[in-house]
Chains A and B, each alone.
Chain A
Amino acid sequence: MSATKARPSHAAQPLGSASILKKASISALVALVLFSLMIGVRTEAGPQGGLIYWTRFGELAAMVAAVFGGSIVIELLRQWWGPVDKDRVVPKPVQAAFAFVGRWLAPALLVFTFLVPVIFYDQRYILDLAILVLTYVMLGWGLNVVVGLAGLLDLGYVAFYAVGAYSYALLATNFGLSFWVCLPLAGILAAFWGILLGFPVLRLRGDYLAIVTLAFGEIIRLVIINWQSLTGGPNGVSGIPRPTLFGIPLTAGDDGLAARLGIEFSPTHRVVFLFYVILALALLTNWVTIRLRRLPIGRAWEALREDEVACRALGINTTTTKLTAFATGAMFGGFAGAFFATRQGFISPESFTFQESALVLAIVVLGGMGSQLGVALAALTMIGGFELFRGFDQYRMLVFGVAMVLLMIWRPRGLIGHRSPTVFLERNQAISSDLVKEGHG
């Protein structure tokens, strides 16, 4: 299972069928031991409170056989594909086609997105799915500022999403503030929390930072669960008001939008409205990110991602650079959270688990860490992929985990593309920063 870059000499020579069979047998044997108890025996709390168990040797045999077969297939695929790091020559016409698609994909996608409510007006399911995808596109673009541009691994992004959602929910239900007043407030509050989190983590290196942000996300969730008098605890907040179009509600009443325009009321109006709200928010995120990347602060983020020590040597204030990255990312997370709250009408801590953080992070990584178009496509793939598993809910996260591992092995720099720094020297230095590991220079 391990023909890797570390030992290219082994990977290069094709293996005979005997050795493939041997490898597959070893894999099957390992699988047999691994699964013998976990799959072969099923335990359950019995009716009297004690434990009962029954055996499932059929499933066990099937799993082992699947591992055996899968191992052979993977080995054959690997031989067919050749070494991982081989330079592949892409034919000229294909290159031209790629370039053409690359140039026109983003505008085409944008136009298509604008037309989605027109094309799928009657299909509520697709509209809801599109809103969901756009929410994740926005979250992905927000996290992209932190992870993709500044290179800070944030495993607790969902905390800012939660802060935004609860900010809007509580302000609206307690003080009757409207969505459009609360939206900037939610963003500001989330950015404030981002700075609060940013302060302690400034001195930390990559992995520590990841764990601290994870702990922070969990702290926020636990506080939301336990602070029942404010947040309603596990029951959440319900009855969150819907957004209005500059004060005009999208309801069936006399003062509703439909009545004022003199058209027949339909609940789809609200869905379409929500669709354009999230689309506008997402495009705002994208626009701000693209603009910021051209400002000194954006350049500083990218420099920070490439090499922190060099950054400091060049006189970039790493503290403020990291803080602004955190705050900007958190602000967009807060916007998305406020939108989530108003769309759902009900929020509870269950929506803000670590799995959400991991999902958004997976979108950013899949999209190539820094590429805006990549993140959008990754969100579409991920959420669409999740929809395929509707009805197999319990296998969803399993497949998600497997996909994450395989993706990291196959394309650690992202499936769609890697955003290189906006500015760089024409002549490359002798050793790229990828090759220099910390402590191994």
Chain B
Amino acid sequence: MDYFAQQLINGLVLGSIYGLIAIGYTMVYGIVGMINFAHGDIFMIGGFIALISFLVLVSLGLTAIPFILLVVLLVSMAITALYGWTVERIAYRPLRHSFRLAPMLSAIGMSFVLTNFSQIAQGARVKPVPPIITGGYTLHEGASGFNVQISNMQIIVVLVTIVLLTLFTWLVSRTRLGRDMRACEQDQTMAALLGVDVDRTISMTFVTGAALAAVAGMMYLLYYGQVDFFMGFVAGIKAFTAAVLGGIGSLPGAVLGGLAIGLIETFWSAYFSVEYKDVAAFSILIVVLIFMPTGLLGRPEVEKV
């Protein structure tokens, strides 16, 4: 039971990170109808920028950890958002009215560009960071010496996810930008006729998605204590799985799917085998698409001729 509770906590934390990435996929898919294949690499870039800005700030002589982390968060969100904007501008916008497969292939190309760019710019080796946020609480002391623990870092990851999700839900449902996004999602031509700047709205979708991915990247860096240039690929596929599982196009669905994938992966590693945890996650993607193509919270897609 204790072991189960511990895995539940670990799974929720991992799921929060996947959920943050999945939001970027689900929003872009909802509005543009394409899989932003490079989104996983945007997440990786976010992790790198958090790492580098942290190093620079520390070497400048700053010691107040909360202040540093706040600055790192803002810097990595801002720069990664610019990456998202640039990717959309260069690789997707010219293909808005092209044939179906073109944006997908362009996105795969962009994913290679980002992966190899960071490999060349920052080297192929794994970058470790010492634990920055330490300490935690023991929730339950088991009889056999196994304690259920929750670390401060895990609390922060979950809290940040909840705060960002609230902010983001507010953004989509209450602000002008959110209304534009929803309008574009329903019908781009009609939205344009009613005075919505479609290009700008799509750009902003990429920017906000990338900013959330940057937060996920930073959380990953702090939680796992390392980044490398290849981490975006697998994380990206899993987050996309989460988005599909939750029902693509649905924001709560993305987070729900993220949590589900995180839990499944953690429990699979804990009770079955660590080696096959990715196989389990990918198999779920296939199974979900067979039996529930619309996901948990998605709307059925009507095919028009």
- Chain A contact residues, CB within 8 Å of chain B: 1-2, 4-6, 30, 33-39, 41-45, 49-51, 53, 153, 155, 200-201, 203-208, 210-212, 214-216, 218-219, 222-223, 225-226, 309-310, 354-355, 358, 361-362, 365, 394-395, 397-398, 400-405, 407-409, 412-413, 434, 436-441
Q: Is the CB of A403 within 8 A of B49?
A: no
Q: B16 on the interface (CB 8 Å rule)?
A: no
Q: Is the CB of A397 within 8 A of B79?
A: no
Minimum C-beta distance from B103 to chain A (A)? 8
**CB-defined contacts of B75 to chain A, threshold 8 Å:** 37
Minimum C-beta distance from A59 to chain B (A)? 9
Mask: chain B, 261-305; 1 = CB below 8 Å from A; 0 = not? 000000000000001101100110110011001000000011111
**CB-defined contacts of A440 to chain B, threshold 8 Å:** 189, 304
Q: Please tell me which stretch of B111-119, B151-159, B212-220 contacts chain A, meaning at least 4 of its Cβ atoms lie within 8 angstroms of it.
A: B111-119
Q: Is the CB of A401 within 8 A of B97?
A: no
Q: B6 on the interface (CB 8 Å rule)?
A: no
Q: Is the CB of B125 within 8 A of A44?
A: yes
Q: Is the CB of B105 within 8 A of A408?
A: yes
Q: Is the CB of A212 within 8 A of B289?
A: yes
Other 16 A-B pairs with CB < 8 A, given A5-B97, A212-B285, A439-B303 = A2-B94, A33-B79, A34-B83, A38-B117, A44-B125, A51-B129, A200-B286, A203-B293, A222-B275, A223-B276, A226-B279, A398-B120, A408-B91, A409-B91, A438-B303, A441-B304
Q: Is the CB of A45 within 8 A of B105?
A: no
Minimum C-beta distance from B115 to chain A (A)? 7
A44 to B59 alpha-carbon distance, docked (Å): 15
Of B79, B125, B189, the contact of A37 (CB 8 Å cutoff): B79
> Lowest 8 CB-CB distances: which A-B pairs, in order?
A404-B109, A401-B112, A401-B113, A398-B116, A215-B282, A412-B102, A408-B106, A405-B109
**CB-defined contacts of B125 to chain A, threshold 8 Å:** 44-45
Q: Is the CB of B49 within 8 A of A33?
A: no
Interface residues of B in 226-262 (CB under 8 A from A): 233, 237, 240-241, 244
Minimum C-beta distance from B91 to chain A (A)? 5
Q: Is the CB of B116 within 8 A of A397?
A: yes
Sample of 12 A–B contacts (CB below 8 Å): A34-B79, A42-B122, A50-B128, A51-B128, A215-B237, A354-B233, A394-B119, A395-B120, A405-B91, A405-B106, A405-B109, A434-B99
A81 to B5 alpha-carbon distance, docked (Å): 64
A441 to B110 alpha-carbon distance, docked (Å): 30
Q: Is the CB of A203 within 8 A of B237?
A: no
A422 to B289 alpha-carbon distance, docked (Å): 33
Q: A38-B121, A401-B111, A408-B105 are in contact. Are A53 and B56 (CB under 8 A)?
A: yes
User: How many contacts between A and B, using CB within 8 angstroms?
Assistant: 212
A34 to B114 alpha-carbon distance, docked (Å): 12
Of B103, B105, B116, the contact of A361 (CB 8 Å cutoff): B105
Q: B162 on the interface (CB 8 Å rule)?
A: no
**CB-defined contacts of A412 to chain B, threshold 8 Å:** 95, 98-99, 102
A211 to B301 alpha-carbon distance, docked (Å): 18
Q: Is the CB of A214 within 8 A of B303?
A: no
**CB-defined contacts of B101 to chain A, threshold 8 Å:** 153, 206, 365
Minimum C-beta distance from B193 to chain A (A)? 14
Q: B123 on the interface (CB 8 Å rule)?
A: yes
A395 to B285 alpha-carbon distance, docked (Å): 33
Q: Is the CB of B95 within 8 A of A400?
A: no
A276 to B56 alpha-carbon distance, docked (Å): 59
Return the chain B residue nearest A7 by Cβ.
B199
Q: Is the CB of B237 within 8 A of A403?
A: no
**CB-defined contacts of A51 to chain B, threshold 8 Å:** 51, 55, 127-129
A45 to B241 alpha-carbon distance, docked (Å): 32
Q: Is the CB of A1 within 8 A of B290?
A: no
Return the chain A residue nearest B110 by Cβ.
A405
Q: A6-B96, A33-B82 are in contact. Are A218 and B102 (CB under 8 A)?
A: no
Minimum C-beta distance from B286 to chain A (A)? 6
Of A38, A208, A210, A439, the contact of B122 (CB 8 Å cutoff): A38
Minimum C-beta distance from B282 to chain A (A)? 4
Return the chain B residue nearest A355 by Cβ.
B112
A441 to B82 alpha-carbon distance, docked (Å): 34
**CB-defined contacts of B48 to chain A, threshold 8 Å:** 37-38
Q: Is the CB of B286 within 8 A of A49?
A: no
Of B95, B115, B240, B302, the contact of A408 (CB 8 Å cutoff): B95
Of B53, B95, B100, B112, the contact of A397 (CB 8 Å cutoff): B112
Q: Is the CB of B105 within 8 A of A38?
A: no
Of B97, B103, B119, the contact of A6 (CB 8 Å cutoff): B97
Of B95, B99, B121, the contact of A409 (CB 8 Å cutoff): B95
Minimum C-beta distance from A304 to chain B (A)? 13
Of B56, B94, B129, B240, the contact of A4 (CB 8 Å cutoff): B94
Interface residues of B in 158-201 (CB under 8 A from A): 189, 199
**CB-defined contacts of B290 to chain A, threshold 8 Å:** 200, 203
Q: Is the CB of B52 within 8 A of A38?
A: yes
Minimum C-beta distance from B68 to chain A (A)? 15
Q: Is the CB of A45 within 8 A of B127?
A: yes
**CB-defined contacts of A204 to chain B, threshold 8 Å:** 289, 293
Interface residues of B in 13-61 (CB under 8 A from A): 29, 33-35, 45, 48-49, 51-53, 55-56, 59
Minimum C-beta distance from B116 to chain A (A)? 4
**Residue among A36, A38, A39, A225 with the most chain B CB within 10 A?**
A38
Q: Is the CB of A219 within 8 A of B121?
A: no
A405 to B111 alpha-carbon distance, docked (Å): 10
Q: A398-B117, A412-B99 are in contact. Are A37 and B282 (CB under 8 A)?
A: no
Q: B108 on the interface (CB 8 Å rule)?
A: yes
Q: B135 on the interface (CB 8 Å rule)?
A: no
Minimum C-beta distance from A145 to chain B (A)? 16
Minimum C-beta distance from B121 to chain A (A)? 5
A169 to B75 alpha-carbon distance, docked (Å): 51
**CB-defined contacts of B244 to chain A, threshold 8 Å:** 208, 211
Minimum C-beta distance from B23 to chain A (A)? 17
Minimum C-beta distance from B35 to chain A (A)? 5
Mask: chain B, 120-151; 1 = CB below 8 Å from A; 0 = not? 11110111111000000000000000000000
A309 to B302 alpha-carbon distance, docked (Å): 12
Q: B10 on the interface (CB 8 Å rule)?
A: no
Q: Is the CB of B98 within 8 A of A200?
A: no
Of A34, A43, A309, the contact of B82 (CB 8 Å cutoff): A34
Minimum C-beta distance from A278 to chain B (A)? 27
